[in-house]
RNA sequence: GCGAAAGUGGCGGAAUUGGUAGACGCGCUGGAUUUAGGAUCCAGUGGGGCAACCCGUGGGAGUUCGAGUCUCCCCUUUCGCACCA
């Protein structure tokens, strides 16, 4: 009897054709059915899928298919984050248009995704560079302009003086332009911002409700928002004797430690503070101007070099401020450790209770006063913990919390200041001086200023048929595109030529999938599907994307487009895909990285690696450790090659079998071969079973002990796999459990009717348990087994609790916590019964011999521990 | 510096509520099959003794009848933030 061989290259296309023919994964809004929206972060169409994509999308697909089998109405869409810088770079390099390059990449990658058999509803595909998508984003922006939630102000960019263009941060390499090599300058130009800071408090509070989000992501977002409570107050400018400035000038400072104000020994302005010139004395003017200039020119590297170090640069302004608590003057300095962008750009300095102030005071010979008593034996440096206040008149003796409260209240009562909450979070700068992005829908008129493009004139379409002249954005270079008329007064006017940050498109695509053809940004279908029940993506998006997307969702909520407060209830961040790296040193001492697929590893008799050679020449190569797959380390693996060699199911299986989703996955060719081997074995076992026959209908009551044991294993496995997939997200242990079951089934070869029935039930279960992970081979085996209907629509198996009951259980017998024997007992055996039987075991007896029994502990049905002394 | 996570065989990892450490897979060893290689199948595989038994989850202490799991101290690694007053 010849069993049909397993050929993934034939099975998979056949099964995929069926899915397509039957519209298997088309999602429709259905009343009365529990919906499940499962979303994987959409890819940038860079040209080809990499292993990170494959892993991400396999995880999402496993969850989707599981919930579909559980009877939920599942939506799993896919789309393209199609705007972005790489398309411009490719356009310059290959002399093509970014749009053409992008669309052709999308074609190719869509084919790759389809070859992997992901259960997407392709009818909802969204491509963010299409005007029918971005017009709604433009409309949202003009609405935000009218609400004052979008505004324009000057902000710094990286300016390449040779190419005469703005550079993205990633285009700045070692402080130089990536193409010109010229030192990058800081330049201030007007740019658009979204007022995310208005939502800072809600974005922070909302995290507490997101129980299905990883704690690490929430912590990162909390830190990023960086809420701190304190007080803001004014200090009058004065001379060294404390005589206040006749012009009545004052400096506002923010502090989280108003309780330490009596320890203020100086104050500091950021170099960019607007009052610097005004307050600087003539004697200090030269020194101050040179310091400001030096700070202005400081590059990112300069900043990093001194950040956090003891070196604190600064200069005296010649002015003093009057400490309202003591009525004493303190010298006013300029220092670059104070940032203009946070608080008021000015601080009171308390070296005794702040390490940065301490370092500055040490550098500049300023006095240090402690206002919180450190514990005995405290040596040097600022003291930041709790303790009783000292040297602080009416605060003395109070603990920090109480002292803060009193000091703040005093400022309020005196009319000098108020309570203040500051956030580290900054408004979101959305202007990019790039071509391949969504045009910012604004018209500049000499008389009317910045005018939003009226809804009826949207979208402002980005021309796609362009050629790059050098590096300049084609729409900036094209006066015809810019030229327009003012929507308000009709006078000649110019369009904005900047485009949006691409995070804008990825901030709302998830909602557009719900109604991709709506003649509005969203329609009522959005509220059917939202919020997302499961979002899957990389941890690298923990802060920016996941913050912007929460923010944008709240903007849409406040515009009445959606009801939910948060876009996604559960979030899973998958780990990186990593691989071995190998290299050789060339003559110049540079490392030549060699792809692991071309390397043969040599091992000793224990299996321990002892060396590695390049297959091509048999010569040794060096092991460079395990690293994230990357071009620079040449350790990437092309999923396309793997799919061609092993089939989609094997690639999918391996990408979730070797570690839990949130951990990094170590790629290994032999691991992939192991996955392939398992599927081939599964195939031949099921086919052999089908050949032998399914037997009679299952009669659970008529089974013998061995058959019952197999059934018990089957139903235990069903329970475990269900829990692993739905609650724990540990697909690796789910797969291990199924493999273990298959190993048992292969050893059980009953030919009688009841045995066949038990096996039939078992294989039908196995095929369904694996269906979310390896859907093609399972679909085929399901139909071979005579399963009813298509597997993608089959019901998830239920664990039969009666079948899981045991007639005997194995107790572990310990003496003083050490394993000495195993004991078969009735389930529910009492301590006394178990102890009596255990005493009879020789090996137990030997350890009890001559000793008195102190205590006997029973963990029912698991363990008996006899404590002797 | 601050914050978070982690450290278990030769390797990836398992042990879910404090209860048999090493599931499952890879690698390795031996055998079968094969003209051979590959593939496949069977058996073994933490270390030391090769028997009883002892040792073993980064290191050290502690709690407990019992600790990979809990507490404290230390070491290491990864990630995030990084002068945010």
3-class state of residue A564 by DSSP: coil
Helices (H), A664-730: 669-692, 705-723
Find all residues with CB under 8 Å of A197, minimum gap 6, and list them.
Answer: A423, A425, A426, A427
One-character DSSP codes across A28-40? ---TTS-EEEEEE
* Spatial distance between the Cα atoms of A776 and A119, rounded to a whole number of angstroms: 11
pLDDT tens-digit series, residues A87-98 = 998 988 888 999
Query: Phi first, then psi: what are they for A341, rounded to 5°?
Result: -80, -5
Query: Which chain B nucleotides are covered by protein, judged by CB under 7 A?
Result: 1, 3-5, 10-16, 19-21, 23-29, 39-42, 47, 52-54, 65-67, 79-85
Distance, CA of A774 to C1' of B12, in Å: 21
Helices (H), A308-421: 355-364, 400-414
pLDDT tens-digit series, residues A395-433 = 999 999 999 999 999 999 999 999 999 999 999 999 999
3-class state of residue A748 by DSSP: coil
Query: What pLDDT does residue A540 have?
Result: 87
pTM: 0.94
Lookup: nucleotide whose C1' is closest to A673 CA: B26
Measured CA to CA in angstroms, residue A423 lies from A226, A235, A342, A672 at distances of: 5, 22, 8, 48
* Spatial distance between the Cα atoms of A742 and A758, rounded to a whole number of angstroms: 13
Tell me the average confidence (pLDDT) per consecutive run of 10 residues in chain A, 869 residues long. 85 97 98 96 95 96 98 98 92 91 98 98 98 98 98 88 75 73 83 95 94 91 93 95 92 96 96 94 95 80 66 92 96 94 94 92 93 82 88 94 95 95 92 94 97 97 88 88 96 96 96 98 98 94 93 97 97 92 86 88 83 87 88 90 96 95 92 95 94 90 92 97 95 97 92 94 98 98 96 97 92 91 90 92 87 91 91
β-pairing, A863-868 with A809-815? parallel
Query: Do A49 and A648 meet the contact criterion of CB atoms below 8 Å apart?
Result: no
Distance, CA of A606 to C1' of B27, in Å: 8
Residue A591's Cβ-side half-sphere holds a number of Cα atoms within 13 Å equal to 13
Tokens 């010849």 locate to A2
Query: Do A69 and A795 meet the contact criterion of CB atoms below 8 Å apart?
Result: yes
* Spatial distance between the Cα atoms of A251 and A256, rounded to a whole number of angstroms: 17
Q: At what angle do helices A731-747 and A705-723 cross, to 10 degrees?
A: 170
Q: Indicate the burial class of A705 (C-beta count within 10 angstroms; 0-12, 13-18, 19 or more).
A: exposed
Distance, CA of A606 to C1' of B43, in Å: 17
3-class state of residue A366 by DSSP: coil
Distance, CA of A685 to C1' of B23, in Å: 22
Residue A518's Cβ-side half-sphere holds a number of Cα atoms within 13 Å equal to 18
Q: Looking at residue A340, what DSSP letter applies?
A: T
Helices (H), A154-193: none
Choose among A768, A761, A766: nearest CA to A791.
Answer: A768
C1' of nucleotide B4: residue with nearest CA = A216
Distance, CA of A103 to C1' of B7, in Å: 46
Q: Is the peptide bond before A520 cis (omega within 30 degrees of 0)?
A: no
What count of residues does chain A have?
869
Return the CA Rg of chain A.
34
Choose among A631, A660, A641, A630: nearest CA to A55.
Answer: A660
Give, for A108, the enclosing helix (H) or strand (E).
Answer: helix A98-115
């Amino acid at each position: 009897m010849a069993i049909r061989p397993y050929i993934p290259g034939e099975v998979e296309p056949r099964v995929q054709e069926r899915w397509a023919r039957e519209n298997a994964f088309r999602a429709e809004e259905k009343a009365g059915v529990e919906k499940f929206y499962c979303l994987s972060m959409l890819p940038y169409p860079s040209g080809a899928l990499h292993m990170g994509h494959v892993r991400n999308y396999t995880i999402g697909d496993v969850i989707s298919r599981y919930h579909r089998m559980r009877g939920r109405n599942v939506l799993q869409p896919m789309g393209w984050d199609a705007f972005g810088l790489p398309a411009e770079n490719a356009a310059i390099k290959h002399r093509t248009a970014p749009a053409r390059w992008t669309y052709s990449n999308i074609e190719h990658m869509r084919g790759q995704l389809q070859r992997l058999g992901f259960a997407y509803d392709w009818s909802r595909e969204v491509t963010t560079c299409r005007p029918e998508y971005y017009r709604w984003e433009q409309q949202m922006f003009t609405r935000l302009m009218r609400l004052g939630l979008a505004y324009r102000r000057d902000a710094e960019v990286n300016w390449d003086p040779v190419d005469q263009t703005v550079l993205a941060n990633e285009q700045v390499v070692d402080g130089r332009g990536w193409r010109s090599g010229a030192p990058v300058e800081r330049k201030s130009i007007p740019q658009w911002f979204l007022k995310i800071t208005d939502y800072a408090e809600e974005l922070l509070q909302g995290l507490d409700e997101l129980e299905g989000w990883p704690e690490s992501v929430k912590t990162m977002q909390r830190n990023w928002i960086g809420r701190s409570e304190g007080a803001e107050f004014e200090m009058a400018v004065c001379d060294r004797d404390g005589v206040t400035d006749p012009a009545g000038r004052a400096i506002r400072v923010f502090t989280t430690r108003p309780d330490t104000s009596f320890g203020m020994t100086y104050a500091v302005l950021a170099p960019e503070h607007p009052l610097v010139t005004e307050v600087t004395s003539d004697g200090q003017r030269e020194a101050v101007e040179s310091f400001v200039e030096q700070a202005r020119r400081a590059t990112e590297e300069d900043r990093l070099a001194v950040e956090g170090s003891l070196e604190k640069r600064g200069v005296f302004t010649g002015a003093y401020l009057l400490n309202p608590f003591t009525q004493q003057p303190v010298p006013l300095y300029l220092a670059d450790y104070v940032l203009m962008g946070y608080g008021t750009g000015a601080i009171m300095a308390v070296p005794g209770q702040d390490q940065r102030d301490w370092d500055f005071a040490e550098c500049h010979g300023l006095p240090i006063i402690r206002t919180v008593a450190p514990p005995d034996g405290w040596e040097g440096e600022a003291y930041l913990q709790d303790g009783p206040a000292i040297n602080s008149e009416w605060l003395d003796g109070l603990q920090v919390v109480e002292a803060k409260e009193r000091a703040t209240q005093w400022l309020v009562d005196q009319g000098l200041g108020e309570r203040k909450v500051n956030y580290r979070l900054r408004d979101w700068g959305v202007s990019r001086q790039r071509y391949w992005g969504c045009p910012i829908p604004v018209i500049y008129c000499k008389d009317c200023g910045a005018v939003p493009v009226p809804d009826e004139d949207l979208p402002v379409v980005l021309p796609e048929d362009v050629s790059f002249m050098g590096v300049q954005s084609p729409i900036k270079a094209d006066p015809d595109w810019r030229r327009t008329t003012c929507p308000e007064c009709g006078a000649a006017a110019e369009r904005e030529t900047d485009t949006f940050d691409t995070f804008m498109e990825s901030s709302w695509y998830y909602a557009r999938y719900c109604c991709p053809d709506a003649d509005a940004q969203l329609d009522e279908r959005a509220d059917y599907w939202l919020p997302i029940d499961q979002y899957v993506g990389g941890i690298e998006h923990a802060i920016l994307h996941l913050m912007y997307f929460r923010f944008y969702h709240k903007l849409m909520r406040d515009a009445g487009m959606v009801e939910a407060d948060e876009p996604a209830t559960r979030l899973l961040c998958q780990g990186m895909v990593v691989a071995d790296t190998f290299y050789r040193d060339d003559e110049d001492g540079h490392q030549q990285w060699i792809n692991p697929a071309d390397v043969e590893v040599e091992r000793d008799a224990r299996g321990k690696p002892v060396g590695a050679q390049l297959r091509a020449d048999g010569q040794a190569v060096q092991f460079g450790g395990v690293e994230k797959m990357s071009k620079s380390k040449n350790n990437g693996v092309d999923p396309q090659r793997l799919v061609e060699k092993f089939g989609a199911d094997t690639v999918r299986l391996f990408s979730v079998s070797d570690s839990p989703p949130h951990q990094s996955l170590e790629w290994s060719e032999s691991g992939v071969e192991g996955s392939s081997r398992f599927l081939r074995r599964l195939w031949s076992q099921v086919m052999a079973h089908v050949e032998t026959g399914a037997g009679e209908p299952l009669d659970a009551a008529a089974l013998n002990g061995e058959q019952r044991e197999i059934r018990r294993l089957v139903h235990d496995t069903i329970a475990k796999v269900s829990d692993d997939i739905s609650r724990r997200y540990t697909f690796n242990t789910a797969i291990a459990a199924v493999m273990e079951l298959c190993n048992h089934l292969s050893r059980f070869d009953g030919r009688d009717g009841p045995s066949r029935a038990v096996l039939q039930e078992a294989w039908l279960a196995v095929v369904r348990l694996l269906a979310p992970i390896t859907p093609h081979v399972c679909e085929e085996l399901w139909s071979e087994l005579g399963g009813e209907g298509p597997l993608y629509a089959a019901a998830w198996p239920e664990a039969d609790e009666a079948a899981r009951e045991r007639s005997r259980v194995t107790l572990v017998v310990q003496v003083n916590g050490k394993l000495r024997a195993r004991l078969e007992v009735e389930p529910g055996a009492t301590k006394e019964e178990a102890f009596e039987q255990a005493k009879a075991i020789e090996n137990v007896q030997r350890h009890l011999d001559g000793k008195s029994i102190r205590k006997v502990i029973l963990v029912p049905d698991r363990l008996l521990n006899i404590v002797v002394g």
